[in-house]
Amino acid sequence: MSPGSFSERLRSFWPRRGGGAAAVPAVPPVDEIDFWRDPDPDGPSGILLSDRIRFYVERVNLIHPFQEADLRPASYTLHVGSEYLISQPGKLLEGSLEEEGKVEIPPNGLIYIRFLEEVNIPCYLIARFNLRVKQVYRGLLLGTGPQVDPGFRGHLGCPIHNFTDEDKVLKYGDPIATIDFAKTTPFGEGSFRGLNDAEWRRLPFADFRRGTKAVVGLAGHRCLIFREERDRPIKEYLPNAESVKSSVLALQSQLDRMDRQLSRFRNLAVVGGFALLLAAGSIVFDAYRDVKNDITKLTESLAKLQGAKSAIGILPQSVRPPSSAAPSTGGSQPTPPTIKPSTPPSTKAVPGGSPEQPGPRGP
């Protein structure tokens, strides 16, 4: 539901005040007894569904002003009201959204607002409220929804924290929170059990509310109810009306200072790292050059050995060094070179059977 549609319903449903903003109608009269005696005594304890919320709206003005469009299955939507207070270090800024229309919550800032709707909690109900999910997604934070005690009557308010680093806008009539209700255990069993209507109407309700007369419950124990003054100015809820500084804002300032220091350290680390890389690169280059020279020398030596081996392979057999014979059982003796015998001259047969001996020939 948009804020505009809520404002339009305000103007159309309620009369205007002097031609200005729509006036909230007066609270309809109800029977005071219904605040103390549950008009639905047989209803079980637990969260109220929409039908019972509507029932108690009619009987005790549970929510005022009430509009059907804001009723949910088990809750009701509350809207931003007029009064607000922004807490900044050393000062408080108060204002009226009914007159100003909107307000900006500073980054990591706190704002105290009062809801538009009045709630009247009878003595046998409690209520809880929390921010709508949409507002949480915007970066606003209320925290755990506080409990509203039995007997509270008036306009609820709460502090809201802007958890982001940018301004957030709230407008008069913005849907801001949801409230749900739960029925308690029986109230005032010792004081009220078995009373008829005439006896109920003679009870000193004003004394009960002031606390000058006790409401007796189970086993004679006293039942306590909310007795504080209604609709006090928001400033009075602050300790000694002092400003409240967001601890997150202080933490953010500390983080900013740390970030600046880290930036300086980071720059020094980059320079030091670059110098270290240059030194390491120089060492690696020198080592690479030495290894390359050693490889070159080794390659040249291998080439020379290979050339010598090739030269030995092409020598004639006669000039090759003798090969070593296998050792004998008597000891190792060198094998003498083999002498090839020369071929004898051929003989020629002569008469008489004697071969002709070679001899010198004449000319």
- pLDDT tens per residue, range 127-150: 999 988 888 888 888 755 679 999
Residue 206: pLDDT above 80? yes
Which tokens is 343 given? Answer: 């071929």
- pLDDT tens per residue, range 305-331: 777 777 776 655 555 555 554 454 444
- Residue count (the chain): 363
* Angstrom distance (rounded) from CA 13 to CA 173: 14
Is residue 40 within 8 Å of residue 46, measured between CB atoms? Answer: no
The verdict on domain 3-244 having CATH code 3.40.50.1970 is no
* Angstrom distance (rounded) from CA 325 to CA 272: 72
The domain locations on the chain are 3-244, 246-305
* Angstrom distance (rounded) from CA 155 to CA 175: 15
Is residue 141 within 8 Å of residue 161, measured between CB atoms? Answer: yes
- pLDDT tens per residue, range 157-205: 889 999 888 999 999 999 999 999 999 999 999 999 999 999 999 999 9
Vertex 64: Cα angle to 31 and 209 (nearest 5): 50
What is the reported pLDDT for 283? 85
Please measure the distance between the N-terminal and C-terminal CA atoms of the chain and give it in whole angstroms: 152
Is residue 1 within 8 Å of residue 77, measured between CB atoms? Answer: yes
* Angstrom distance (rounded) from CA 229 to CA 106: 31
* H/E run at residue 281: helix 247-313
For residue 320, the 8-state DSSP code is S
State whether residue 159 is helix, strand or coil. Answer: strand
State whether residue 68 is helix, strand or coil. Answer: helix
